[in-house]
Amino acid sequence: MWNTALLAYGLSFGYDTRAMLSRAQEARVRDALANHPPGTIQMHCLEHLAVAATIPPGHLADLAAFIRGLREHGQCETQYGGVCDGFGHDTHELLVWGPPARGAAQRA
């Protein structure tokens, strides 16, 4: 017979939950997206955004999920394909950039 206490422990241990970025990692991602000269857009592929925000390669899926949440709330934009400004390479993968500064958008 199964020991329900062990089953409950196994589920509460986190085997069924998704890993997430830490708050510090999220803050570094937001800073990397917002750190661009006014009036310019700097696009990053996920790999180079991870490098800029010091996110370990094993957390790229978590970074993609975080970017998806930012995009849903209008805090960044994405497109497939283009030039990654991180290292200037052409890619067909997802590119991410932060929105323009609100003050610049209102003045235009």
> Kind and range of the H or E element at 91?
strand 89-97
- Domains present along the chain, CATH in parentheses: 20-107 (1.10.10)
- Which range, 12-16, 30-34, 37-41, is most confident? 30-34
> Per-residue pLDDT for 38 more than 60?
yes
> Per-residue pLDDT for 69 more than 90?
yes
Percent of the chain surpassing pLDDT 70: 74
DSSP structural state of residue 1: -
